[in-house]
Amino acid sequence: MGIVTVNGKAALSVPETAQVLSCGQSTVRRMEADGRLSSIHIGAGDMRITAQSIQDYIESQEETNATTKDHEDAPDRIANERGA
């Protein structure tokens, strides 16, 4: 498997990550601090968020959204299966 990239980069700055995820920079920093995103620390307080962790986060959100949608549709599916 090759190196995962986002916008052609293996790691993105906090502002770039915020743009990709459509959130604020403080949210990206919080997500990095609590382990939802992985980072590479560079120099004096600067960091890059790995493209792999961004991809993993997006995929986990897609799975969560699909599961939520399945649960929302459950009453209709049950009613249809019962012939109601």
Burial 50-61 (b: 16+ CB within 10 A, else e): bbbbbeebeeee
Sign of CA dihedral 68, 64, 7, 39: positive
Residue 6 lies in a domain: no
Q: Could you tell me the residue range of the domain that residue 30 belongs to? A: 11-73
Q: Look at residue 84 and tell me if it is in a domain.
A: no
Nearest Cα to Cα of residue 60 among 40, 37, 39: 37
Counted domains in the chain: 1
Q: CA-to-CA distance for 49 and 25, rounded, in angstroms? A: 12
pLDDT in tens, 15-65: 999 999 999 999 999 999 999 999 998 888 889 999 999 999 999 998 887
**6 bridge partner residues:** 9
pTM of the model: 0.72
Is 68 a member of any domain? yes
